[in-house]
A and B are shown apart, each in its own frame.
Chain A
Amino acid sequence: MELLITARQTLKANPASTPHRRGSIALARIAIETTASQHPEFVGTRIDWRARFIALRTLTHPDHARKGYYLWSRCSNLIHYHPYRLIPDHTKIEHLLQQTQSWIETEQSHQVGYIR
């Protein structure tokens, strides 16, 4: 969650700046990855990120897992430099961060009650 706070601060510091927008998205993606990697089933493993989200579908609610994969993909897509891909404006990124926060909170609550 700290990463997400930093992501927000980065965006807020310079909302018109493309690198800051992209940076905040990068931090959001890392926040998702960090949260997902803390799932008891993944601790100490080195699994591909796509595989982790597929696995999450069986470990937690499928819709929640799908949403996580969507957010992670969206962030990944945006931080890669495609020749003519347009970086979203600050309002869209804020919305993305909000969705990410919501997902992380849900994921963390799932992890707390998880029994292997």
Chain B
Amino acid sequence: MCFLLGAEAITATAVGVLLVMDSTHCVIEALDQLASAGLDSEIEDVLLEYLPDRDGLASSEFGWSDVFIESIFARGYRGIADGQNLKLPPGPGLAFVVGLNGAGKSSFAEAAELALTGTTTRWDKAQKDARENWRNIVNPSKTLVRVELRETNGSVAKVERHWEENIELDQSQLSVKDNNGSATDRFNGLAEAVRQYPPLLADRALPKLTDGKLSELFDAFDPLLGLEDLDETQRNINSQVKEIRSATKLATGLKKEVLSLCESSTLPEILDLRSKVNDGSNAGKIYDDFHRQVPAIAVSQPVRQCLGLDPLDLEEVKHRLARIDETVAKVEDESRKGNQTLTRVADLLEQALQLQEDEQLTSCPVCETGQLNQEWRDKTAITLKTHRSLTAALKENQRLLQQELHQLQTLLEQTTKIGFSDDLPELEAASKQAQSLLRSISSRDSNLVDLFSDFELLDMQISETQTAAKRLVENNSEEFKPLLDLLDSWRKAQQKSDELSPTKRSHEKALTWIKSEITRQRSIRLEAINTQITNTWQKFSGSDDLKLDPLELTGSTNRRKVSLTCQTGGSEANARSIFSQGQLHALALSIFLPRATHKGSPFKFLLIDDPVQSFDEWKTDGLASVLEELAQTRQVVVFTHDERLPKAASLLGITASVINITRNEDAALTITKRKSAATQALKEAYIMSKDEQLSPDAKVNIVAVCCRAAIESYAIERYRHKANQQGTPIEEIESCIKQSEKSVWDKISLGLYCEIDRGTAQKVETSHGQEHRNLITTLNKKSHHDPQAAEVHDLYGRTRKTIDKLFTLNSQP
């Protein structure tokens, strides 16, 4: 199936075929357009992302069609207390549901709207106090509304909504049942069908089109074009474009704020930050770097160094001190053992061995008795080795001692070298303690193990100093918090902007495309509607000196407006400013009808509540003609309190049923099918003639009134029929009837001769018999309680005979 709307489709509108105007088709057409638009793939991707998926579109076929409405039932709703069923004439045709103000007819119209849509124009958006009494006051519980729908194929569905007590209007329980009372899915998609092709026009919907802002008027007209899905797509893309633009704007703004905040600072780190921001470096990295730098910038060098101090390992210190003491003891012990003598003896023995070997001496040169033989050499070598070993151990201990001492000194010097800081007085005490320890270690006045408690004290001081230093960093970093926070916000905004920016161009282009597509489709669809609007408008307002220009909807989102212009006296004028209320209502009806009667609609009925409103008689006649045309193929039900519309239909010879709604005590309603005035009068005469409770005098008076009215009505109906057939203008017919108002004989004259003849009484007597003249005279007198009236028996029977004689009773027009 091809949904493309081209020139052929537009041509088709000219012959009265409306385009498909539901939202599903507008999307399909947009997708088709997109396929052939040759856009960049990025832009196409954006549009495809936002447009509803073709496969996911609901079918415009509802699976049911040609639906008529058989009845409207309401109970406990507004003006209807007990269950009342308004049966409507089935099939195509025009029906008027008439009743005085407050009779309950609009309650039925609303009940139908409520059953089909779940809400009503009256209550929707009404102020809270105006929504209070939607339930009937006499019977507020068990509220129920129901419409009975019937397809031409005979399928029936009862669409029903009911409310338990204390349930709000918009929380009804919906059920759709078939003729047997079983739940049915026969009318699935009913709500969607009502939304697309609203078959109901509430009385309050008409003024809405005329009183609001242009954007509201746009909103009222636009749905008629069925472009909701495209509008929604445009709104979504527009919203994304706005978000992208706003992210970029935010990031730029925050960057400026960062630069502005850094402007007055002379700190090298801040200057560096400024230059990085200006260079366009990565916001995230700038933030991370600065975040790390803050503690360094916040406090002095000694404080920072203090924070870098390694904690003392007191156990290690303890061992080290013990080892030093032990080594010192060893060294001292070895020293006591004459370590120096041993070294000198060893040197001397080494020289003696060398001398003996060099000179080949055999006896000791000192005592000259001792033998320097091999035995002497072996013994001397052993002694020498022992001596050398002892001196080496001593040297090693001395080296170890130096090493241990050096390490302790280094440990202490890391504290003593930090220096002082005015904002961290604890540092000075720790430093002095470390210096004191250094001195003690260097002098080694006593066992170093005894210094351990001093190391413990130093450790505590270092710990306290570091705590104070941390606090100092924290306090001083507060100064940089606003900058850090700002950097953080900028970093995040920049990150979002960086993420979104690449899609900015494609979104903007997609937005431009969808806007132009909506404009294109709107223009095509509006042209189709405008043709129908013009046709309908002509029927309403053919008598006006106003030519309606084609309707135009322009703009979108918050710049929506409607161009409603007309031509009058050769000049263009704004229709809204010069149209009367009645003309605006006619325009509104002209707009409503094309969609409600669209060929895609599954509904074959139209319910219109109070369409006459501000119409003058010409527009009322026009409305009757419009309704007559619709009723050729549709069931048209009009709710009205205004007798002008049924009267106009009667004058124009339009066939219509009339259903009367009257209100009785306790909000009970009476629904009757209206007969012709003549038939009704005769029927009432019969009813009253049979009323046994009436006194004879009252009965004669009342029956006389009804019988006389019956004769008058037959006469007038006969006159209308004959005059119409003769081609007498309606105005002339009505004028003659008006002239005959004061006399029963004048009316009879019109009915018999189509003119007012003062000699009619005599003519009747001559042509039809004296008894008929006498009866009419009697009825006339008794209607005014003239005591001189004679022959008051069987007024009803005699009246029937007279009517039959004069106008042929059973062949009334």
Whether A80 pairs with B709 at a CB distance below 8 angstroms is yes
Q: Which of B1-9, B235-243, B631-639, B697-705 contacts A (4 or more CB under 8 A)?
A: B697-705
Q: Interface digits, A21-42 against B, CB 8 Å rule (1 contact, 0 not)?
A: 0110011001001100000000
B670 at the binding interface (Cβ < 8 Å): yes
Whether B783 pairs with A26 at a CB distance below 8 angstroms is yes
Residues of B within 8 A of A27 (CB): 698, 701-702
From the candidates A10, A88, A92, name the one contacting B698 in the complex (CB within 8 A): A10
Whether B664 pairs with A23 at a CB distance below 8 angstroms is no
Residues of B within 8 A of A3 (CB): 698, 701, 785
A16 at the binding interface (Cβ < 8 Å): yes
B668 at the binding interface (Cβ < 8 Å): yes
A54 at the binding interface (Cβ < 8 Å): no
Kindly name the residue among B684, B706, B709 whose own CB sees the greatest number of chain A CB atoms within 10 A: B684
Question: Nearest residue in B to A25 (C-beta to C-beta)?
Answer: B705
Residues of B within 8 A of A92 (CB): 100
Q: Interface digits, B774-786 against A, CB 8 Å rule (1 contact, 0 not)?
A: 0000000001110
Residues of B within 8 A of A26 (CB): 701-702, 705-706, 783
A6 at the binding interface (Cβ < 8 Å): yes
A89 at the binding interface (Cβ < 8 Å): yes
Question: Nearest residue in A to B647 (C-beta to C-beta)?
Answer: A84
Question: Nearest residue in B to A26 (C-beta to C-beta)?
Answer: B705
Minimum CB–CB distance from B619 to chain A (whole Å) comes to 17
From the candidates B100, B687, B742, name the one contacting A86 in the complex (CB within 8 A): B100
Residues of A within 8 A of B709 (CB): 79-81
B431 at the binding interface (Cβ < 8 Å): no
Minimum CB–CB distance from B580 to chain A (whole Å) comes to 24
From the candidates A9, A17, A90, name the one contacting B687 in the complex (CB within 8 A): A17
Minimum CB–CB distance from A55 to chain B (whole Å) comes to 17
For the complex, what is the distance from the CA of A73 to the CA of B56, rounded to whole Å?
Answer: 67
From the candidates B99, B672, B710, B784, name the one contacting A30 in the complex (CB within 8 A): B784
Minimum CB–CB distance from B460 to chain A (whole Å) comes to 101
Query: Interface size for chain A: under 10, 10 to 19, 20 to 34, or 35 or more residues?
Result: 20 to 34
Q: For chains A and B in complex, what number of residue pairs have CB atoms within 8 angstroms? A: 105
Whether A84 pairs with B785 at a CB distance below 8 angstroms is no
Minimum CB–CB distance from A29 to chain B (whole Å) comes to 8
Minimum CB–CB distance from A22 to chain B (whole Å) comes to 6
A49 at the binding interface (Cβ < 8 Å): yes
For the complex, what is the distance from the CA of A27 to the CA of B700, rounded to whole Å?
Answer: 10
B695 at the binding interface (Cβ < 8 Å): yes
B270 at the binding interface (Cβ < 8 Å): no
Whether A81 pairs with B664 at a CB distance below 8 angstroms is no
Question: Nearest residue in A to B686 (C-beta to C-beta)?
Answer: A19
Minimum CB–CB distance from B412 to chain A (whole Å) comes to 112
From the candidates A30, A79, A83, A88, name the one contacting B676 in the complex (CB within 8 A): A83
Whether B100 pairs with A88 at a CB distance below 8 angstroms is yes
B548 at the binding interface (Cβ < 8 Å): no
Whether A13 pairs with B785 at a CB distance below 8 angstroms is no
Whether B665 pairs with A15 at a CB distance below 8 angstroms is yes
B641 at the binding interface (Cβ < 8 Å): yes
- Cβ < 8 Å to B, chain A residues 50-81: 50, 79-81
Whether A86 pairs with B643 at a CB distance below 8 angstroms is yes
Minimum CB–CB distance from A49 to chain B (whole Å) comes to 7
Question: Nearest residue in B to A79 (C-beta to C-beta)?
Answer: B705
A95 at the binding interface (Cβ < 8 Å): no
Minimum CB–CB distance from B737 to chain A (whole Å) comes to 10
Whether B643 pairs with A84 at a CB distance below 8 angstroms is yes
Residues of A within 8 A of B712 (CB): 80-81
- Cβ < 8 Å to A, chain B residues 92-129: 96, 98-100, 103
Minimum CB–CB distance from B645 to chain A (whole Å) comes to 8
From the candidates B660, B677, B785, name the one contacting A33 in the complex (CB within 8 A): B785
Residues of B within 8 A of A86 (CB): 98-100, 641, 643, 660, 662
Residues of B within 8 A of A83 (CB): 646-647, 650, 676-677
B680 at the binding interface (Cβ < 8 Å): yes
B536 at the binding interface (Cβ < 8 Å): no
A85 at the binding interface (Cβ < 8 Å): yes
Known contacts A18-B662, A33-B784, A81-B680; is-contact A10 B99 (Cβ 8 Å): no
B750 at the binding interface (Cβ < 8 Å): no
For the complex, what is the distance from the CA of A49 to the CA of B683, rounded to whole Å?
Answer: 28
For the complex, what is the distance from the CA of A50 to the CA of B743, rounded to whole Å?
Answer: 13
Known contacts A10-B694, A26-B702; is-contact A89 B684 (Cβ 8 Å): no
Residues of B within 8 A of A18 (CB): 662, 672, 680, 684
Question: Nearest residue in A to B674 (C-beta to C-beta)?
Answer: A84
For the complex, what is the distance from the CA of A27 to the CA of B695, rounded to whole Å?
Answer: 12
B526 at the binding interface (Cβ < 8 Å): no
B266 at the binding interface (Cβ < 8 Å): no
Whether B688 pairs with A19 at a CB distance below 8 angstroms is yes
Minimum CB–CB distance from B670 to chain A (whole Å) comes to 5
Residues of A within 8 A of B465 (CB): none
Question: Nearest residue in B to A34 (C-beta to C-beta)?
Answer: B785
Whether A22 pairs with B698 at a CB distance below 8 angstroms is no
Whether A16 pairs with B668 at a CB distance below 8 angstroms is yes
Residues of B within 8 A of A79 (CB): 705, 709
Whether A16 pairs with B670 at a CB distance below 8 angstroms is yes
Question: Nearest residue in B to A6 (C-beta to C-beta)?
Answer: B698
Query: Which 9 A-B residue pairs are closest in the complex by CB-CB distance?
Result: A19-B684, A81-B677, A23-B702, A84-B646, A84-B643, A26-B705, A30-B785, A16-B664, A81-B681
Subset of 29 A-B contacts with CB under 8 Å = A3-B698, A3-B701, A6-B698, A10-B698, A16-B670, A18-B672, A18-B684, A19-B683, A19-B688, A22-B684, A23-B688, A23-B706, A26-B702, A26-B783, A27-B701, A30-B701, A79-B705, A80-B712, A81-B680, A81-B713, A83-B646, A83-B647, A84-B98, A84-B658, A84-B674, A86-B662, A89-B100, A89-B103, A89-B664
A positions within 8 Å CB-CB of B? 3, 6, 9-10, 13, 15-20, 22-23, 26-27, 30, 33-34, 49-50, 79-90, 92
